[in-house]
Amino acid sequence: MTRKVPFVALDRQYNEMRVEINNSVQRVLESGSYVLGPEVDEFEKALAEICASPYCLTVANGTDALVIAMKVLGIGAGDEVIVPTNSFIASAGSVVQTGATPVFCDVLDDFNIDANDAEKRITANTKAIMPVHLTGRPVDMPAVKAMAQKYDLFVIEDAAQAIGASLNGEKVGSMGDLAAFSLHPLKNLFIMGDGGFITMKCPFIYEKIKKIRNHGLIDRNTCTFWGMNSRLDTIHCAIGLEKVKFFDDITARFKKVARMYKEGLAEVVGVPEEPEGMSAVYHNYVIKCERRNELSEFLSMNGVETKMHYPVLLHRQPAAIGLCDGKGDFPIAEKLNALQLSLPIFPEITEQEVKYVIKKITSFYKNS
Ligand SMILES: *Cc1c(COP(=O)(O)O)cnc(C)c1O
C-alpha cells in the first residue's frame, strides 16, 4: 500500500478545534440572532487587526468582496480593470459582474502581476488595477502603486490567498484603496462554508459598503440605492472568531511546511524565494519543474496529490473569448503555466508527509 498525502484535509482542522467550534455554533443557535448578530462586528474587528486596516466588513464570499469593492468606487459599464491572466476565475468574473471589462496582463517570474506590462494595457477607459497576491505572496505593491498613481487608477487588492502576508512591514489588505479576502474552506483562514471580507481605509466607503451588502437599506424600510444581499451569517462569524485565536499558529505552520520544502527541494526544482522585506504565507506551494506532467503522474502513483494554480490562464478560458479571442501576448504566464506544480500544503500536514513528498520528488529526478 502506498502512503497517501492529500492535497488538503479540512477535517483535520475541525478535529483539532472541535470543542471551540461546536460551542460557538451552539451559542449562536441558542441566541436566535442569525443575521448581523453581535459576532459579526466582533469578527470584523479581529480581521481588521490581522490586516492592519482601520475598517473591515464581512460579506457572503470573496467574489462578492471584489464586486462590492469595485461597485463602491463607481466602477461599472464602460470601465476597464486590469487583471493578471494568472489568477483564479473570480478575479476576472467579479469585474464582469460589475458591468466593467477585465483587461488581462502578464505576470513576473514570481507568478504575480507585472506593473510594467499592465501599464502598456492602459486605455482611456481604465479605472483600476487588481493586483492578486497569488499563493500568499505579496505583489510588488510599490511598483503597482506608483504606476496607478501616474494614471490615477484605483488599486483593488485581491488578497483572497494572502491573509497575514506582508511587504516591507505593510500588511496585505492595507496597501491598496480596498482589498478583498475570502474565507472559503480552501483559504488559509477559513470558515465552514462561503465567506469573505473587505478591508478599507476610508470611513465613508465603510458606511457605504455597510449599506450595499444589506440591500442599500439605510434603515428598516428605506432604500436610497439598489444594493445586494451579501452578508456573512452570524454562525460563520462565531466560528471565525474561534479560528482567529489560532491565526498566528496557522500561518506559522504554513510557513514551516514551506521552509521544509525549500530546504529539501531547492537543488532539484525551482522553489519560491522571499526577497528581503517580504513575508509570504504560502496558501499554495508552487514549484517550477521540468517534465511537470510526468512528475505529477509519478507522485500520483505514489499517493501524493498535486494540483495546478491554475491550469488554464484567464485569457484562455472559453468565457474570455469575447474579450480577447483566447489570444494576447502573455509570454511569462504561458512559460510558467508549463512549469508550475502545486504541492500539498496545509497547517495539519505532518512532517512525515512533507518528508515523503520531498523524498519522492528527489527520487524522480535522481533516477531519470
Ligand atoms: C478564492 C479566490 C477568490 C474568490 O473567493 P470566493 O470566496 O471563493 O468567492 C478570488 N480571488 C482569488 C485569487 C481566490 O483565490
Residue-wise pLDDT tens digits, 308-354: 999 999 999 999 988 876 667 999 999 999 999 999 999 999 999 99
Q: Which band of pLDDT confidence, cut at 50, 70 and 90, is reported for residue 181?
A: very high
Q: Which band of pLDDT confidence, cut at 50, 70 and 90, is reported for residue 367?
A: confident
Find the 63 Cα to ligand 1 centroid distance in Å.
6
Find the 190 Cα to ligand 1 centroid distance in Å.
12
CA distance 307 to 299: 11
Mean pLDDT of 269-273: 98
Asked if residue 86 has its Cβ within 6 Å of ligand 1, the reply is: no
pLDDT in tens, 99-133: 999 999 999 999 999 999 999 999 999 999 999 99
Find the 124 Cα to ligand 1 centroid distance in Å.
28
pLDDT in tens, 216-238: 999 999 999 999 999 999 999 99
Asked if residue 284 has its Cβ within 6 Å of ligand 1, the reply is: no
Q: Which band of pLDDT confidence, cut at 50, 70 and 90, is reported for residue 357?
A: very high
Among 83, 137, 158, which residue has the most ligand 1 atoms within 8 Å of its CB, making it the best to mutate?
A: 158
Mean pLDDT of 356-360: 97
CA-nearest residue, atom 6 of ligand 1: 62
Asked if residue 230 has its Cβ within 6 Å of ligand 1, the reply is: no
pLDDT at position 21 is: 97
Phi then psi for residue 343, to 5 deg, are -95, 160
Find the 93 Cα to ligand 1 centroid distance in Å.
10
Single-letter code of the amino acid located at 216:
G
What's the grid cell of residue 197?
Answer: 471580507
CA-nearest residue, atom 2 of ligand 1: 160
Q: pTM of the entire structure?
A: 0.97
Return mean pLDDT, the chain. 96
Is residue 368 pLDDT above 80, yes or no?
no
Mean pLDDT of 164-179: 98
CA-nearest residue, atom 10 of ligand 1: 90
Find the 187 Cα to ligand 1 centroid distance in Å.
8
Asked if residue 91 has its Cβ within 6 Å of ligand 1, the reply is: yes
Contact call for residues 163 and 187 (beta carbons, < 8 A): yes
**H, E, C per residue of the chain:** CCCCECCCCHHHHHHHCHHHHHHHHHHHHHHCCCCCCHHHHHHHHHHHHHCCCCEEEEECCHHHHHHHHHHCCCCCCCCEEEEECCCCHHHHHHHHHHCCEEEEECECCCCCECHHHHHHCCCCCEEEECCECHHHCCCCHHHHHHHHHHHCCEEEEECCCCCCCEECCEECCCCCCEEEEECCCCCCCCCCCCCEEEEECCHHHHHHHHHHCECCEEECCEECCCCCECCCCHHHHHHHHHHHCCHHHHHHHHHHHHHHHHHHHCCCCECCCCCCCEECCCCCEEEECCCHHHHHHHHHHCCECCECCCCCCHHHCHHHHHHHCCCCCCHHHHHHHHHEEEECCCCCCCHHHHHHHHHHHHHHHHCC
pLDDT at position 2 is: 57
pLDDT at position 1 is: 45
pLDDT in tens, 18-44: 999 999 999 999 999 999 999 999 999
Find the 302 Cα to ligand 1 centroid distance in Å.
30
Mean pLDDT of 42-53: 98
Asked if residue 196 has its Cβ within 6 Å of ligand 1, the reply is: yes
Is residue 73 pLDDT above 70, yes or no?
yes
Packing angle of the helix pair 247-265, 351-366 (nearest 10 deg): 20
Find the 160 Cα to ligand 1 centroid distance in Å.
5
